[in-house]
Structure 1
Amino acid sequence: MPEWVEVIIRSLAIIAGLFFISKLLGKKQLSKLSFFEYVVGITIGDIAGTLSMDTNLNLTNGIISIAIWVMIPVIISFISMKSPSFQQFIEGKPTVFIKNGKIMEENLKKEKYPLAALLEQLRKNNVHHASDVEFAILETTGELSILLKKEKQPITVGDIKTNVAPVKEPQTVIMDGKIMDEALSTTGLNRRWLKEKLDQLGVAVENVFLAQVDSYGQLTVDLYDDKVKVPEPVEKQLLLSSLKKVEADFELYALQTENTEAKNMYVRNRKKIAEMIKTLTPFLQG
């Protein structure tokens, strides 16, 4: 057998083997690998690359070596799931770098983590003052987790209103000029609705690169031709305007009617609509 043919066969076999190994080891992201797992991955890759190129090496011995390097982290992962103390021994413990706005210098020295690197990580997380941080912890993966002090945290909708409706993920209804019927049905819409919206925008389906519908029923469109500007969706603004019109109508009816009972009904409903507008305005503006 020619040597180049053997190299091809070895390479294809090893690629298939590495694919199987990656499935066996799971879907853990590279950033989540422990130091040990990182070293194992590099070693397996080095062995596989050498085996695929060097035809003088015994393929069987190489496969046995890879199998051993694979089985060790698998066994360690299994034991770690059963024993937290063993997991802590293998992966180490998180280290507190900042506590109550104070930098823990001894912990920085212990982890050989330069102060400049800590400040850089803070800036990457839009934190420019260490004193604003409640906790900053170096995880076992090498990532820095940051918790700002309560008064420095950005305000959220949950801080204003406890009962917040969940926001559903946008559904892609057109992709590369093709209508996605399954996504349309998921949103409770159909092709007729989509065609009417596109007609309002003056856009043909075949000219749409991407179209998505959000949880408010708004359609956003990205065209193949980036020079063509598509109007922004206005469903939320129209809904807000309609609510304000209803409020104005109730107020007008209350002023025009002479019947006391009817007048009181209009006033009550106007107040309800006004309260609804106050609640929904942050969600419907912009």
Structure 2
Amino acid sequence: MVSEVFFSGWSALGRVLVVGVSAYVALVVLLRLSGKRTLSKMNAFDLVVTVALGSTLATVLLSKDIALAEGVLAFAVLIFLQLAVTWLSVRSSHVLHFVKAEPALLFHRGRFLRQAMRRERVTEPEIRAAVRAQGIARLEMVEAVVLETDGSFTVVPRQEQAADASALANVARPAASPD
């Protein structure tokens, strides 16, 4: 019994090898057919699909109860649903607003936007860390910090010649209110 914890037989290892290679090849083929957008990191649904594909691959690899064909079908279903959601979101503003969050402005021209920070559950030290990660030592050198739809921070450096920051056009700006 104890020996099965460390080694359950050559047939089990052979199954993992054959199913692993086959499932991996099938996943790569399906991802190539579906296009680059399938594994992008543009919103929460993209993350869910990526994690679900990885979880499915692990389950197919390690569970004797799941046949390779079932795993490949699960890959295809997840990829098809991702394609359907992205196809619909490009064609319908209602679907787009349902599946994709707005980027949020958290810091602008020297001011931490506390209301937006609370709403997005972001702390001042996290914003400062994002600024430092961009190699910027002083907050005065930052035009804006945006929490993107994929959860990453974008730090927009301040530039003397820029009268308007057109890259910030679609970023949710909080109403003028005191911190």
Match of 2:88 among 75, 79, 84: 79
Instruction: Give how far 1:104 is off.
Output: 0.5
Contact 2:130 2:155 in 1 (8 A): no
2:149 alignment counterpart: 140
Tell me the distance in 2 between the aligned counterparts of 1:88 and 1:149: 30
Identity within the alignment, %: 20
Match of 1:127 among 136, 143, 155: 136
Match of 2:23 among 14, 18, 21: 14
Contact 2:131 2:137 in 1 (8 A): yes
1:88 alignment counterpart: 97
How many residues are treated as equivalent by the alignment? 152
Write the deviation string for residues 155-212 of structure 1: whole angstroms up to 9, x where unpaired: xxxxxxxxxxxxxxxxxxxxxxxxxxxxxxxxxxxxxxxxxxxxxxxxxxxxxxxxxx
Instruction: Give how far 1:8 is off.
Output: 2.7
Write the deviation string for residues 26-83 of structure 1: whole angstroms up to 9, x where unpaired: 3359773422211221222122222123223233333333322221111111112222
Relative contact order (alpha carbons < 8 A, sep ≥ 6): 1 or 2 greater?
Answer: 2
Instruction: Give how far 1:138 is off.
Output: 1.4
Write the deviation string for residues 200-252 of structure 1: whole angstroms up to 9, x where unpaired: xxxxxxxxxxxxxxxxxxxxxxxxxxxxxxxxxxxxxxxxxxxxxxxxxxxxx
In 2 relative to 1, CA 31–20 (structure 1 residues): closer, same or farther, beyond 3 Å? closer
Tell me the distance in 1 between the aligned counterparts of 2:19 and 2:48: 24
1:41 alignment counterpart: 50
Contact 2:106 2:147 in 1 (8 A): yes
Matched, 1:24 2:16: no
* SS of equivalent residue, structure 1 residue 137: strand
In 2 relative to 1, CA 118–152 (structure 1 residues): closer, same or farther, beyond 3 Å? farther
Q: Structure 2: 5+ residue runs without aligned partners?
A: 1-10, 163-179
Tell me the distance in 2 between the aligned counterparts of 1:21 and 1:29: 10
Tell me the distance in 2 between the aligned counterparts of 1:102 and 1:94: 17
* SS of equivalent residue, structure 2 residue 156: strand
Contact 1:103 1:130 in 2 (8 A): no
2:116 alignment counterpart: 107
In 2 relative to 1, CA 111–88 (structure 1 residues): closer, same or farther, beyond 3 Å? same
Structure-2-length-normalised TM-score: 0.71
How large is the Cα RMSD of the aligned pairs?
2.6
Contact 2:31 2:79 in 1 (8 A): no
Runs of 4+ that moved beyond 4 A: 28-31
In 2 relative to 1, CA 11–114 (structure 1 residues): closer, same or farther, beyond 3 Å? same
Instruction: Give how far 1:90 is off.
Output: 0.8
Tell me the distance in 2 between the aligned counterparts of 1:24 and 1:105: 44
